[in-house]
Amino acid sequence: MDIHTHTLPAPTTLDTAPPRARDRRLTRLRRSVLAHRIVFFTVLLCAWELVSRVGPWPDYLMPGPLAVGRALVAGLRNGLFVHGASVSLVRLLIGYGLSLVGGVVLGTLLVRYTALRNTVGTLIVGLQALPSVCWLPLAILWFGLNERAIIFVVVMGSLFSVVLGVRDGIANTPPIFVKAARNLGATGVRLYTEVVLPAAFPTILAGLKQGWAFAWRSLMAAELLYFSLSLGNLLQTGRDLNDAAQVMAVMTLIILVGVTFNQLLFAPLERRVAERWGFGTTRA
Amino acid sequence: MSTGRALHLRGVQKTYVSGDRTVDALAPTDLDVEPGEFVCLLGASGCGKSTLLQLVAGLEPATSGTITVDDTPVEGPSSDRVLLFQDAALFPWLTVEDNVAFGLKHSTRPVDDQRQVARDWIARVHLRGFEGAYVHQLSGGMRQRVALARALATDPSMLLMDEPFGALDALTRDRLHEELESLWAATRKTVLFVTHNVREAVALGDRVLVFSPRPGRIVADVRVTLPRPRALEDVAVMQQAADLMKVLRRALDATTDDSRIEA
């Protein structure tokens, strides 16, 4: 009978590939993802152009990507789109900014005071079931047809997501982190800023991101019903002019703005959280 | 470096109240631990060992009685008495080095010094090269090493260990026993070590306190005088563990509790 001798493996369990090799592997992976995307979108655009040209629909209802691209360039050139987008963005930033400040304060208060949590907390969960554009008629009655009404709708759309994200994030901070930190000498404000908030950050970030998405949607919905120049209003003008190319061009612009903000604002934060906590990375 | 301090408990008792139910977690307990002593707290789950550790750590107030370290009464948490949890409770948003430096950051030590002390402790628990790693990249044993370094970096006089190696595989546990024993021999901290493993208690402790449940109380105080270093599989350790097991069985027979005792 053979007797085998074994040597024990080294007691490390980290990914042992040297960093350079790992980077190369990742680069290769990213390149293949990029290649897939390019092929997919090229095929999609060609199919769209083809459908637009040979399909039974008139050009003004089903323009192809080339016509939409031309409308987009024209709109950007004559300044109409730029102006409209900047009006919308200012509203978005003001509305979301207010939600951010209000949401963090309110969320923190909800964690701190049980009585508030049982009353205001329930109200907030209820109000979140109301699509924010439903606030518009009331907002117009209260504030008139002006900026304040539209910003009110944006705040109503995004505030509650931020509140709930902050509340859940802080409330679900594992007590063991707080215990360990107190034991090591952390107290008061520093316990809060260096332990509770970082521990809650992944959940808070999800709330902030959802709040941002809701703010953007609420703004577009409200602007559709408005008369001053803005992105939502440009969609409506496109319809009035029977100009589907303009409608699609503005839709494209709305998507581009949304994606850009996501990439600049949230994607880096999410990557950081994922890298530190070891969450599976999801990229869109 | 501060060496161990003496610990005195007089009539220390803990009752938890939730609604109209009260649970006697710890019956009135007297205990004296000498400076630098390694004391193992042995017993089944729910017999007040962890409660006692939380009280000594100052993370929870005793219902009655007094706890003093040397002559200072315990009135709250202090980085002079650091608790280590079974789940290492490292902060996932910090690197290994920042975790180890956490207690130092909340002390009055100069900042330059903090980095150096943290790196020294990382080296002493054999994790050099992992300073920049995040917690999720470490194995269970490595996490406990970081937790140990984080605790020792603040230079406490007392280490309170709540089944810190309970979730580790046998090989890793053995290695950490050796490392803990040699760190303890070098630093002479007072150690309270909770375990439900009889052999672990005998291999590590100068003294083993046997606990019995409902209400949690100390039913035996056994001295272990075997020469060090000891290993779990030493014949003398196994012999003494077998004797201790009998004491423990008797303590448990008094109750109907299901035990979680490992031989």
CB pair distance less than 8 Å for B59 and A177: no
Residue pairs spanning A and B at CB distance below 8 A: 80
The yes-or-no verdict on residue A97 having pLDDT over 80 is yes
pLDDT of B262 strictly over 70: no
Say whether pLDDT at B257 is over 60: no
For residue B48, give Cα distances in angstroms to A65, B31, B117, B119, B210: 72, 14, 35, 36, 11
pLDDT tens digits along B75-93:
889 888 999 998 889 999 9
Distance from CA of A23 to the nearest CA of B (A): 16
Domain B1-80+158-263: give its CATH architecture.
3-Layer(aba) Sandwich (3.40)
- Nearest CB among B102, B138, B141 relative to A184 is that of B102
Q: Which of A26, A43, A278, A111 is nearest to B94 (CA)?
A: A278
| Mean predicted lDDT score pLDDT of chain A | 87
| pLDDT of residue A2 exceeding 60 | no
Asked whether residue A30 is assigned to any structural domain, the reply reads no
Minimal Cα distance from B57: which residue of A? A183
Q: How far is CA B193 from CA A71, A78, B85, B138, in A?
A: 74, 76, 11, 24
Q: Is B185 on the interface with A (CB under 8 A)?
A: no
> How many CA atoms lie less than 13 Å away from A110 in the CB half-sphere?
27
CA B242 to chain centre: 23
Distance separating alpha carbons of residues B62 and B10, to the nearest angstrom: 11
- DSSP classification of residue B212: E
Identity of the highest mean pLDDT range in B90-99, B103-112, B167-176, B237-246: B90-99
Instruction: State percent of chain B over pLDDT 90.
Output: 44
The answer, yes or no, to whether residue A91 has pLDDT greater than 90, is yes
pLDDT of residue A11: 45
Q: What are phi and psi of B47, to 5 degrees?
A: -120, 25
B216 touches chain A (CB under 8 A): no
Lowest mean pLDDT among B111-115, B121-125, B250-254: B250-254
**What is the C-alpha separation between B118 and B111, in angstroms, rounded?**
11
Quick one: tokens of B255? 């109750």
At B102 the pLDDT is 93
Q: Which residue has the higher pLDDT, A271 or A19?
A: A271
Q: What is the pLDDT confidence band of residue B6, given thresholds at 50, 70 and 90? A: confident
Residue A7's pLDDT is: 47
Instruction: Compute the average pLDDT of residues B92-96.
Output: 94
Residues of B in contact with A205 (CB under 8 A): none
- Whether residue B86 contacts residue B163, with contact meaning beta carbons closer than 8 Å, is answered with yes
Read off the tokens for A232. 């939502």
- Rounded to 5°, angle at Cα A247 from A243 and A248: 115
Residue A221 lies in a domain: yes
Token duo for residue A183: 């034991």
Cα separation, A63 vs A57, in Å, equals 9
Q: Does some domain include residue A85?
A: yes
Asked if residue A279 belongs to a domain, the reply is no
- Per-residue pLDDT, averaged over B170-181, amounts to 87
Residue among A217, A203, A208, A204 at smallest CA distance from A254: A217
Mean pLDDT of A116-126: 89
> Residue B158 has what pLDDT?
93
* Across A197-201, average pLDDT: 92
pLDDT: which is higher, B142 or A4: B142
How do strand B81-84 and strand B207-212 relate by DSSP bridges? unpaired
Q: What does the pLDDT read at residue B98?
A: 93
Residue A95 placed within a domain: yes
* Contact status of B13 with chain A (Cβ, < 8 Å): no
Query: Which chain A residues are within 8 Å of B57, Cβ to Cβ?
Result: 183
In the structure, what pLDDT confidence band is assigned to residue A28 with cuts at 50, 70 and 90? confident
Indicate the domain borders of chain B. 1-80+158-263, 91-155
Is there a domain that residue A208 lies in?
A: yes
> B150 — contact with chain A (CB < 8 Å)?
yes
Q: Which residues of A touch B (CB under 8 A)?
A: 8, 11-15, 176-177, 179-187, 190, 194-195, 198-199, 201, 275-278
Query: B54-76 pLDDT, tens per residue?
Result: 999 999 999 999 999 988 899 88
The residue among A12 and B17 whose pLDDT is bigger is: B17
Task: Give yes or no for residue B220 having a pLDDT over 50.
Answer: yes
Quote the tokens at residue B39. Answer: 């004391």
- Residue B117 is encoded by which pair of tokens? 């002390």
- Indicate which CATH number applies to the domain containing A204: 1.10.3720.10
Per-residue pLDDT band for B255 (boundaries 50, 70, 90) equals low
Say if residue A1's pLDDT is above 60: no
Is residue A200 scored above 90 in pLDDT? yes
Say yes or no for a CB contact (<8 Å) between B172 and A11. Answer: yes
Whether A49 is in a domain gets the answer: no
pLDDT band for position B23 (cuts 50, 70, 90): confident
Q: What is the mean pLDDT of residues A13-34?
A: 70
- Note whether residue A195 is domain-resident: yes
Summarised one tens digit per residue, pLDDT across range A202-247 is 999 999 999 999 999 999 999 988 778 888 889 988 888 888 999 9
Cβ pair B171, B15 in contact under 8 A: no
Dihedrals phi, psi of B234, to nearest 5 degrees: -60, 140
Chain B residue whose CA is closest to A14? B137
Is residue A4 scored above 70 in pLDDT?
no
pLDDT greater at residue A60 or residue A282: A60
What pLDDT sits at residue B216?
87
Domain count, chain A: 1
pLDDT at B139 over 70: yes
Q: Does the pLDDT at position B259 exceed 60? A: no
Average pLDDT taken over every residue of chain B: 88
Decide if B74 touches A, using CB distance below 8 A. Answer: no
Tens digits of residue pLDDT in A129-184: 898 889 999 999 999 888 899 999 999 999 999 999 999 999 988 899 999 999 99
Place of tokens 């672990």: B200
Q: A220: domain range?
A: 63-273
CB-CB under 8 Å, B130 with A276: no
pLDDT band for A10, please (50, 70, 90 cuts): very low
Residues A102-110, mean pLDDT to the nearest whole number: 92
pLDDT reading at B207 higher than 60: yes
How many angstroms from the chain centroid is the CA of residue B168?
15
ipTM, two decimals:
0.87
Q: How many helices (H) and strands (E) does chain B have?
A: 7, 10
Instruction: Give the start-end residues of each E strand in B100-189.
Output: 158-162
At B113 the pLDDT is 86
